[in-house]
């Protein structure tokens, strides 16, 4: 079962964060299971344990590797007002947010 992070809504600073193991199809909890205080589910950063090195990351994000696997890569253009496609063959050549 996945572990979800919840913030306790008790007004403390910094906010208290707890983790609760729940079924993925269950609705989010609204009450702390022990103290019965109100809680809300928050989005936390994932915990990934990967075998990698900086060189392996560079290789996996290289233009050739991204194109081989069908991905696109956009990077901010020089003027800073949009993005230019730097890898991939399909999709627009530039994007402006």
The span from the CA of 29 to the CA of 6, in Å, is: 8
Mean pLDDT for the stretch of residues 8-19: 92
C-alpha separations of 75 from 29, 71, 86 in Å:
39, 13, 7
**Each residue's pLDDT tens digit, 23-35:** 989 999 999 999 9
The span from the CA of 19 to the CA of 1, in Å, is: 12
Structure pTM? Answer: 0.47
Q: Is the peptide bond before 14 cis (omega within 30 degrees of 0)?
A: yes
Task: Reply yes or no on whether the pLDDT at 51 is more than 70.
Answer: no
């Amino acid at each position: 079962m996945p572990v979800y992070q919840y913030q306790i809504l008790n007004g403390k600073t910094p906010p208290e964060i707890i983790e609760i193991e729940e079924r993925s199809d269950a609705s989010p909890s609204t009450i702390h299971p022990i103290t019965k205080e109100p809680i809300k589910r928050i989005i936390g950063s994932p915990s990934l344990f990967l075998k990698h090195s900086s060189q392996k990351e560079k290789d996996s994000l290289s233009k050739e590797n991204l194109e081989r696997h069908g991905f696109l890569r956009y990077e901010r253009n020089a003027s800073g007002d949009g993005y230019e496609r730097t890898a991939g063959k399909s999709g627009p050549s530039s994007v402006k947010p």
